[in-house]
Amino acid sequence: MSNVNGIFEELAAESGKNAKLDILRKHKANEQLKRACFLALDPFTQFFIRKIPTYKYGSAPRLTLDKALDALSDLSSRKVTGNAAIKHLTDVLSGCSADDARVIIRVIEKDLRCGVDTAVNKIWPGLIHEYPCMLASAYDQKLVDKLDFPAYVQCKLDGMRFNAIVNNGNVEFRSRNGKEIHIADPMFGLYFIEMAQGENVVFDGELICRDKKNKVIDRKTGNGILNKAVKGTQSMEEGQSVCAVLWDLIPYDDFQKGVCNLAYEIRLKALLYRTDPNRLTDLRVIVVETFTVENVDEARGHFDRYLNNGQEGIILKSKKMLWEDKRSRQQIKFKGELECDLKVVEWQPGTGKNAGRLGALICESADGKVRVGVGTGFTDADRDKITAKNSVGKIVAVKYNARINDKRSDVDSLFLPVFIEIRTDKSKADHSRSIK
């Protein structure tokens, strides 16, 4: 078979999407390549090692790539853990050729580093399942009119969406796109293992950060701490500031399938039952504040109250709502300001005092039907730090006042766009249909 690492290097050297697809098509029959792509990109296959150990390989490798990939099952199944897992991986890497060891490292790090993550399914349809996530719909009066009352109102939070996945007595934290979140405080995971009560379940909610006085840290600073958890660089002190606000509980098997037929009212009650009230007092793991409302006017009353208290708004949820891997029409966002997530497609240099550093980011919706230049909201530190290399292709959160139509073009823009942050927890921009 062709050298798999050589194929990855060839892909990395190409910048064009079509050229990358052509390379993958050329090697479509390569089962080792297909297998390595699956193990690296499948969100439900994890190896639970954060740092590649030091290893040495000899001139006569004793493991083929297939045998080395086979050996990784002892890590993903947690047959070996801790120091034994590190030793096992060291032995695997030391037994491979130099090129095959590099493939194993890409797989373990869950990063092929060649820009083909979204292209793989075009070559091998259905190979990689997208990480499941239920989203709320943007406010639409027609959706509100169809909602059954009484319904629930919950505060719309301003942190990082996450899942705590408890499976076979172990817990892992994931972002909304399946990236592992490494909370530096090991005690944090024990809360979820205890609440799982021996079952395989997924807790859905939002991560926020609090200071030593239990005050919520501002969004930019807090999400900076949480982004370090995604990168695996969070300190113990930062990890101890992380708190979880939960709103859903899904059986693990249903989560993998992408649908749970239990009504939200039942799932919420199960979540409340599993949450030890004594633990709520430390504010590390809590259930989101929830109210039952009989009509839209009551919902708007809570919306106004939250806005006056400096919150973003509310989520209105049907008690009958199923959990589904899609944007649900049974939970609706009420927000004071509009916000969307866009993909950076171009970096523009600044002028005047910003000469030589960031001036603006050109951003687009997933389908390219909304395109806007974002030049405000950046601090001086942002303008120094955000470069073309580390921003193009990334997802950014943008606040705006209205979506505006350019009659000279088929592409819409946004009125008064303001940069909020780079979303390291997201890999896909919003579609234009969800941008109001």
Q: Which residues are catalytic?
A: 156
Orientation of helix 98-108 relative to helix 4-13, angle to 10°: 70
CA gap 306, 155 in Å, rounded: 7
Please name which of 355, 398, 357 lies closest in space to residue 376, comparing C-alpha atoms: 398
User: What SS3 string covers 226-255?
Assistant: HHHHHHCCCCHHHHHCEEEEEEEEEEHHHH
277: helix, strand or coil: helix
Q: Which residue has the tokens 């032995």?
A: 91
Please name which of 37, 173, 11, 182 lies closest in space to residue 106, comparing C-alpha atoms: 37
ω into 150 cis (within 30 of 0): yes
CA gap 345, 173 in Å, rounded: 29
> Could you report how far apart the first and last alpha carbons of the chain are, in Å?
50
269: helix, strand or coil: helix
| Number of helices followed by number of strands (H, E) in the chain | 18, 20
CA gap 320, 326 in Å, rounded: 16
CA gap 243, 94 in Å, rounded: 40
Give, in order, the Cα–Cα distances in Å from 128 to each of 10, 56, 279, 355: 21, 32, 38, 43
Question: What are the tokens at 197?
Answer: 């009560």
